Amino acid sequence: MRVVDGHLHLWDPEVLSYEWLEGPLLRRFGPVELDAALAEAPAADYGFVFVQAECVPEQSLAEVDWVASLAGRVPLRGIVARAPLEDLAATDGLLAEFGGRPLVVGVRRLLQSEPDGFSAAPRFRASARAVAAAGLAFDAGVRWTQLPDVVELADAVPGLTIVLDHLGKPEVGSAAAPAPADGTPWAQALRDLALRPSVVCKLSGLPAESRGAWTDAQVRPFLDTALAAVGPDRLLFGSDWPVSGPYGRWADTVTAWLADRVGDRDRAAVLAGNAERVYRLG
């Protein structure tokens, strides 16, 4: 089995600064820790797309270089780097730098803590067009209530490949009291977004949205809703490790769900092929 994990985080607070880290996440998560996590994951040929871990903005380029330096120890296929899309000049400067760093395959400006409409600003849209012109994808890290903003961005910049992180962070409830999936405002918003052919979605991040320990039964309805809305050719696996976990449990959950829902071709696409196509991985 081949797996391209489309959403991996790595960080080291002794190398870069992360103002958001706290609790059990406030420590190094690097190659050694990843190896330990993979030891309990399904046997597979793994590759990874690193997604920026929200170090302080002035270290965005340093983060790319630090992660690239780990490529000899991590089977790294690509990097989704941070770019300040609200600042066109700064984005243009970073895009020029990324052009000399072939592992950079996409950018992200995390939007989940920004006000509604943040991505509708003219400078943001202009930066998004520059990202598309550079041949890079844009990862949309939003909460489900912001999905209409992603729809508007997709309509305004149709040449931009948009990768929705974590299915838009729906409310999944708890193992004891799971939240409904289909028939909810999140599901309708996801179906609306799925009408835009430039959008793909990551099957990632749901464990982090659970209130406490999570179960397969709790998250499967959200995977089912995404499959019905988007289809297997526009879904890709992501772990969101170490924010979500345990790694092996999430990988087991998604692979078992795929075995129940789709055939071998679509299973291979969701686990690896779609990420390779979307991020143009060599």
Distance CA 230, CA 103 (A): 27
Tokens matching residue 10: 């790595």
Instruction: Say if residue 64's pLDDT is above 90.
Output: yes
Range of the domain at 116: 2-278
> How much is the average pLDDT of 44-63?
98
pLDDT tier for residue 1 given thresholds of 50, 70 and 90: very high
Give the Cα-Cα-Cα angle 63, 3, 202 (nearest 5 degrees).
Answer: 65
The reported pLDDT for the residue numbered 200 is 98
ω into residue 242 within 30 of 0, thus cis?
A: yes
pLDDT > 90 in the chain, percent? 100
Write the DSSP string, 237-269: E---BTTS--HHHHHHHHHHHHHHHS-HHHHHI
pLDDT tier for residue 119 given thresholds of 50, 70 and 90: very high
Tokens matching residue 260: 């129940």
Distance CA 6, CA 79 (A): 10
pLDDT tier for residue 282 given thresholds of 50, 70 and 90: confident
Q: Residue 56 in 3-state DSSP?
A: coil
Tokens matching residue 128: 């998004």
Q: What is the amino acid identity at position 189?
A: A
Distance CA 280, CA 275 (A): 8
pLDDT in tens, 216-245: 999 999 999 999 999 999 999 999 999 999
> What's the mean pLDDT when you consider all of the chain?
98
Largest separation between any pair of C-alpha atoms in the chain? 49
CATH number of the domain within which 187 lies = 3.20.20.140
pLDDT in tens, 157-199: 999 999 999 999 999 999 999 999 999 999 999 999 999 999 9
pLDDT tier for residue 82 given thresholds of 50, 70 and 90: very high
Q: Number of folded domains in the chain?
A: 1
The reported pLDDT for the residue numbered 231 is 98
Distance CA 128, CA 122 (A): 10
